[in-house]
Amino acid sequence: MKVRIIPEKCIACGLCQTYSALFDYDDEGIVVLANTDAKECPITPDDSDTITAVKSCPTKALTIL
């Protein structure tokens, strides 16, 4: 499994970082992966915090592949 960020859809609501430390924000408040410039990264099926963050995104700026 991988989580992917679609920054064009992000409205900087802050829910993803509330649920998972995997996410951070750039200078404009748009979601990025913490400590990397990548737009996607692997996750495990038991990473419930990240899965909750993805499911909670109101604009679907986060997806699981």
Q: What does the pLDDT look like over 3-47, one tens digit per residue?
A: 999 999 999 999 999 999 999 999 999 999 999 999 999 999 999
Tell me which CATH code domain 2-64 carries.
3.30.70.20
Structure tokens at 22: 């995997």
What's the CA gap between 16 and 34, in Å, rounded?
Answer: 11
Question: Which pLDDT value is given to residue 4?
Answer: 98
Q: What is the pTM of this model?
A: 0.91
Ranges of H-type helices in 12-61: 15-19, 48-56
